[in-house]
Amino acid sequence: MTQQFSDASGAVPVPPFPPDMQVAALCWRKHKGRTEVLLITSRDTGRWIVPKGWPINGLNAPQSALREAWEEAGVRADAEQALYVGQFCYDKLLANGQELPVRALLYKIRLRSQEITNRYPESHERKRLWVTPLKAAKLVQEPELQEILRSL
């Protein structure tokens, strides 16, 4: 059984996590008076995604999501400020060629310019793009993520 804790956003899993669950960060900022969200490219296909990955032992879901955002997008933010905004499903292509249906818990975090750096672990493997939520909804492939982005 998945352990639960309750916060302002409702119950969210903490370790141990279900084996088909990932965590994701929806990073956003205000730039020149408009809301923008951060997309990155996936390493394998180059499609536009939000930072996401498997939960990390010893970290809760929002902490794991923000660790992924650091490694994949150069975001340094306080996980205590992250708010659960929903979940989306997608098929993860595994190294052996199989597809695994995955559910990703999505945490929204507002960024300030000092929380974004150009030097981070996967900077040479990914591109970053700041776009409006509506443009982001057109660029990502996951229907549930598109819906969340359109509702921002």
The mean per-residue pLDDT over the stretch 34-52 comes to: 96
Domain coordinates in residue numbering, the chain: 3-150
Select the more confidently predicted residue: 21 or 113: 21
Local confidence band at 5 (pLDDT 50, 70, 90 cut-offs): very low
The whole-number pLDDT of residue 109 equals 97
Distance CA 38, CA 2 (A): 30
Retrieve residue 93's tokens.
């292509």
The whole-number pLDDT of residue 110 equals 96
For 86-133, write each residue's pLDDT tens digit.
999 999 888 898 888 999 999 999 998 888 999 999 999 999 999 999
If DSSP codes are grouped into helix, strand and coil, which group holds residue 2?
coil
Instruction: Give yes or no for residue 14 having a pLDDT over 60.
Output: no
Q: Taking the CB of residue 151, how many other CB atoms lie within 10 A of it? A: 10
Cβ–Cβ < 8 Å for 61, 105: yes
The mean per-residue pLDDT over the stretch 3-8 comes to: 37
Instruction: Give yes or no for residue 6 having a pLDDT over 60.
Output: no
**Considering Cα of 92, then 23, then 88, then 46, what sign does the dihedral take?**
negative
Instruction: Give yes or no for residue 2 having a pLDDT over 70.
Output: no
The whole-number pLDDT of residue 139 equals 98
pLDDT, averaged across the chain: 89
The whole-number pLDDT of residue 11 equals 47
Amino acid at 26: L
Of the options 3.40.50.11740, 3.40.50.300, 3.50.50.60, 3.90.79.10, the CATH number for the domain spanning 3-150: 3.90.79.10
Select the more confidently predicted residue: 140 or 7: 140
pTM as predicted:
0.86
- DSSP tag of 15: S
- DSSP tag of 34: E
Closest CA to 22 of 120, 95, 101: 101
